[in-house]
Amino acid sequence: MMPDATPLEKKAFRIDTFRQAVDGTFEPYIESVFLIVAIRYFAVGDAWLGLIAASKFIGFLLTAPLIGALNRSNLRRATILAALTVVAAAALGVGSLATTGTLFALAVTLATAAVSLRQPFFTDLYGDLYPPERRARRISPGLRIMMLGSVASGLVYGQLMDRRLDNWRRVLLVGLVAMAAAALALRELPQTPRRPRDEGWWQALAIPFRNPVFLYMQAAWMIIGFGNLWTLPLRAVYLTDVERGLGLSPAVVTGILVIIPTVVRFACNPLWARLYHRLSIPVLRIAINAFFMTSIPLFFLTGRLWVIIAAVVLFGIGTSGSPFIWQLWVTRIASPERTRIYQSAHAFLAGARGVLAPFVGFAVLQGLSFRSMGLISGGLVLTSALMMVPLMRRGHSF
């Protein structure tokens, strides 16, 4: 199956593909389940909704101090990934027992943050064990399996909560078992020898910011990230909330936010994997932005389901290419020993905007309509795409 791979590469591929399959059971939580339960079952306020929506990015925000602190340690990557996955599983267990909206919000926020905290370590794994010419192709099968798992679990979760909303507790227990299994597998991840670095976390974080290409890319990423992220939790509110939105059922909301875009991502994933190896990062970024720029305003344009479905299809095409550019782009500008540091700085900035964006989105929603916010987001994505044009002169190496 992988005749050109080393034994370490094959072992890492097997374990990481299983991990990605398990992450597929977690993805519907982030996209819909947590917010549906918070809105429909606990009726929490916008502040708690904002916290849940920001939870993924709280994890990203914490990656830089964690990576910096671990720079001076000999702690194995596999041990770190397994420990974070155990934290996520335990938090899901606490969340499944919650009797108040506050405890539920705090528990699921911790679970999602722990899952997100792992991301730079996986980028480090790919840079460490997968050759540059095979990286996108190696992670692509796992991504597709993750998408299939997301579709299957999203269907099950939606149906269970449609029958009886209180079934959300059982839904969270599925994730607990799956994440515990992933933690056991991640303990066996291989690793090449690595020398601990001398920098503290602040010094490590500063390294990428001395690279002008990294700085410019982050400025563009901040604009598109904010334009995209402040609308993500609003999509769940728009579809779920009876007073402010369409008041659709959990099964329909899960279908729109999880199943349809995931099916589209699954279909388009191999194409984006090939494009990653053939195109420069700026060209890829412009192509992905084109789909976001169209889909975000379209989603909030009307209350008609066919328009919303068309929007999520376009969004799914764009997000299908996002994992490659998100997880691998720093490998084109950073040396192998600094890949983890570069990706942690990238995730740190994503966390900063991701934590802020949902709260800003809910605050702005008090004075603007969903449609107006969608149009503003489309303009921000267009601005970010235009910023990529000067970088196209750098050539295929970037």
Per-residue pLDDT reduced to its tens digit, 195-254: 555 656 667 678 888 888 889 998 998 898 888 888 887 888 888 887 777 888 888 888
3-state secondary structure of 137: helix
Contact 328, 135 (CB under 8 A): yes
**Residue 157 is encoded by which pair of tokens?**
């979760």
R_g of the chain, CA atoms, integer Å: 20
pLDDT of residue 201: 60
Q: Which tokens go with 271?
A: 């194409």
- Answer with the residue of higher pLDDT: 188 or 71: 188
Longest dimension (CA), the chain: 59
Q: Is the pLDDT of residue 184 over 80?
A: yes
CA angle 137, 260, 221 (to 5 degrees): 60
Structural domain boundaries in the chain: 7-188+198-394
- What's the whole-number average pLDDT of the chain? 85
Q: What percent of the chain has pLDDT over 90?
A: 29
CA nearest 259: which of 386, 344, 155, 367?
155
**3-class secondary structure, 386:** helix
d(CA 300, CA 385): 21
Question: How much is the pTM?
Answer: 0.78
Tokens representing 350 are 């994503």
pLDDT attached to residue 396: 46
Residue 2 φ then ψ, to 5°? -130, 65
**CATH homologous superfamily for 7-188+198-394?**
MFS general substrate transporter like domains (1.20.1250.20)
Check pLDDT > 60 for residue 298: yes
CA distance 318 to 120: 22
Average pLDDT over residues 344-356: 83
Q: Are 8 and 161 in contact (CB under 8 A)?
A: no
Q: How many CA atoms lie within 13 A of 284 on its CB side?
A: 26
pLDDT higher than 80, residue 342: yes
Nearest to 67 by CA among 340, 379, 299: 340
Q: How far is CA 300 from CA 63, 135, 328, in A?
A: 33, 36, 31
Place 71 in a pLDDT band, splitting at 50, 70 and 90: low
Mind listing the pLDDT tens digit for each residue in 105-148? 999 999 999 999 998 888 888 877 888 777 777 888 888 898 88
